[in-house]
């Protein structure tokens, strides 16, 4: 953390407290309250951490008002159109775009780690066939710490590097295995002659009985989905990974914690929840009923795939994904799919409705990713596992940054206690 000359004065109970202010390279200044409790005996209060910087970071920056998303300074729309997922992984992990030689070495290292220990196949057979693939993912990724003992020591930079590459390489294999298990088809091994996205599609959709050729437009769309979901500042699941890591837990356990958090419908589970909402709406003529429900304060219903905690005008990822959605739908000729008709009509209705304009609710990344994955033939239960395999590089990059930070210490938020003050135990006869 840099030194600073700026400060804020807090006046409390007649005392003045000088709180240092730090200025970022982009975004709002931060008021350093680390010594506040020791000096003034008070906590700050910020449920949901909407006004709290939990760390300093150099990886990703979001400007919610401008709808900007930068990875190590590079805008997401440029990365989505000019780069590809593994190159973005390198950028997130190491801070700079790779040279051709560095990229080739990184891609080779990832490719050589895509297989999982053969005994891990047994874990899947312990799950019911109808288990949600996210349940399988949480379980099997956490169990990686039972297999890869030579990459558990977070104090060893080499072991951190190996764990990072193993997780990026093996998550697609594990996610594809979870899918194959859920549909009763045999696991498909990764292939070293396919690129990352094509390999994942091949592991999901090929069967031993016949040749499967990956459509380059679909693998490009999949690579774009992975690129657009790779990292996103200190969102709920990334904050979960950081908090789990702050206790010194091994990387596989921390990523399993991130997967568990991402599962929620308000977060990464939104793409599945969005498609299930579209299925519930069913036909275009029922859209007004659901728009009315979304506006009704007494109705907990929310339009899944709309709105964002940080973006207040547009989600730049959604803008890029909308182009991919149009390409994939045209390629697959699913323009007449009733579900996708409802999606297109809902998008237009919400974008032109004064309520949604005023509340700054617009389609987010999950709205379009769900549409593309549906068109590709994935069941909705596989949408969030795909988000998780993409976000693994973001979690791991943030994890590496935190572990290497000399300020790193166990996270321990406080509380505003509103419970009972001390009282004596009452024997059951007197209750």
Q: Which of the 8 DSSP states describes residue 97?
A: P
Query: Does residue 72 touch ligand SDX according to CB under 6 A?
Result: no
308 labelled catalytic: yes
Q: Binding to ligand SDX by residue 293, rule CB under 6 A?
A: no
* Nearest distance, CB of residue 265 and ligand SDX, angstroms: 6
Identity of the residue, 8 or 266, whose beta carbon is nearer to ligand SDX in the bound complex: 266
Q: Which of 223, 231, 315, 366 is catalytic?
A: 366
Q: Is 67 in the site for ligand SDX (CB under 6 A)?
A: no
Q: Does 227 bind ligand SDX (CB under 6 A)?
A: no
For the stretch 285-293, contacts whose Cβ atoms lie closer than 8 Å and that sit 24 or more positions apart, written own/partner, are 287/342, 287/345, 287/346, 287/349, 288/349, 290/346, 291/349, 291/350, 291/353
Helix or strand run (H / E) with residue 9: strand 7-12
- Pairing relation of β-strands 74-75 and 68-71? antiparallel
Which has the closest alpha carbon to 168: 151, 183, 185? 151
Ramachandran region, residue 362 (left: φ > 0; alpha: ψ -120 to 50; beta: rest): beta
- Paired residues of 75 in beta bridges: 70
User: Containing H/E element for 292?
Assistant: helix 287-295
Residue 307 contacts ligand SDX per CB under 6 A: yes
Site string for ligand SDX, 349-368 (x = CB under 6 A): ----------x-x--xxx--
CB 186 within 8 A of CB 208: yes
Q: Of 63, 64, 97, 302, which lies in the binding site for ligand SDX, with binding defined by CB under 6 A? A: 302
Binding of residue 322 to ligand SDX (CB under 6 A): no
Which of 3, 26, 29 has the alpha carbon at shortest distance from 72?
26
Number of residues that bind ligand SDX (CB under 6 A): 21
Q: Closest CB to ligand SDX among 180 and 308?
A: 308
Q: Give the CB-nearest residue to ligand SDX.
A: 307
Q: Does 202 bind ligand SDX (CB under 6 A)?
A: no
Q: Contact letters (x/-) for ligand SDX, 256-285, by CB under 6 A?
A: ----------xxx-x---------------
Using CB under 6 A, pick the residue from 221, 294, 321, 343 that binds ligand SDX.
Answer: 294
Report the sign of the C-alpha dihedral through residues 319, 170, 190, 388, in that order.
Answer: negative
Residue of 72, 84, 113, 232 interacting with ligand SDX (CB under 6 A):
232
Structure tokens that stand for 28 in this block:
């709002």
Q: Which residues bind ligand SDX (CB under 6 A)?
A: 232, 235, 266-268, 270, 294, 302-310, 359, 361, 364-366
**Active-site residue list:** 308, 366
């Amino acid at each position: 953390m840099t030194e600073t000359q700026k400060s804020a004065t807090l006046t409390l109970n007649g005392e003045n407290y000088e709180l240092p202010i730090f200025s970022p390279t982009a975004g709002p200044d931060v008021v350093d309250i680390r010594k506040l409790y020791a000096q003034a005996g008070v906590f700050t209060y910020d449920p949901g951490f909407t006004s709290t910087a939990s760390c300093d970071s150099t990886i990703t920056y979001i400007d919610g008002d401008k709808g900007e998303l930068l990875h190590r300074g590079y805008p997401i729309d440029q990365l989505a159109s000019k780069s590809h997922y593994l190159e973005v992984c390198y950028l997130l992990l190491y801070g700079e775009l790779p040279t051709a030689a560095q990229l080739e070495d990184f891609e080779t290292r990832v490719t050589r780690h895509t297989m999982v220990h053969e005994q891990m196949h047994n874990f899947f057979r312990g799950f019911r066939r109808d288990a949600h693939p996210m349940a399988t993912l949480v379980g099997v990724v956490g169990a990686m710490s039972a297999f890869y003992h030579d990459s558990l020591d977070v104090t060893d930079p080499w072991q951190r590097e190996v764990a990072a590459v193993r997780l990026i390489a093996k998550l697609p294999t594990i996610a594809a295995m979870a899918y194959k298990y859920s549909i009763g088809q045999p696991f498909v091994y990764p292939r070293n002659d396919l690129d990352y996205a094509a390999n994942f599609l091949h592991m999901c959709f090929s069967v031993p009985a016949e040749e499967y050729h990956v459509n380059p437009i679909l693998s490009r769309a999949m690579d774009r989905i992975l690129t657009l979901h790779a990292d996103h500042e200190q969102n709920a699941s990334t904050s979960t990974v950081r908090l789990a890591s702050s206790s010194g837990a091994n990387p596989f356990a921390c990523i399993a914690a991130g997967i568990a958090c991402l599962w929620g419908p308000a977060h990464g589970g939104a793409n599945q929840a969005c498609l299930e909402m579209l299925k519930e709406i069913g036909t275009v003529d029922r859209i007004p009923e659901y728009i009315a429900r979304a506006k009704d304060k007494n109705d907990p219903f929310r339009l899944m795939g709309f709105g964002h905690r940080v973006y207040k005008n547009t989600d730049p990822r959604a803008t890029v994904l909308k182009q991919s959605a149009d390409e994939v739908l045209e390629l697959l000729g699913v323009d007449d799919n009733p579900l996708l008709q409802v999606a297109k009509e809902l998008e237009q209705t919400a974008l032109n409705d004064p309520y949604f304009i005023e509340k700054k609710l617009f389609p987010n990344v999950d709205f379009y990713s769900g549409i593309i994955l549906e068109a590709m033939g994935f069941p909705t239960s596989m949408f969030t596992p795909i988000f998780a395999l993409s976000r693994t590089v973001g979690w791991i990059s943030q994890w590496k940054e935190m572990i290497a930070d000399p300020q790193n210490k166990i996270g321990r938020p406080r509380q505003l206690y509103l419970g009972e003050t001390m009282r004596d135990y009452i024997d059951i006869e007197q209750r």
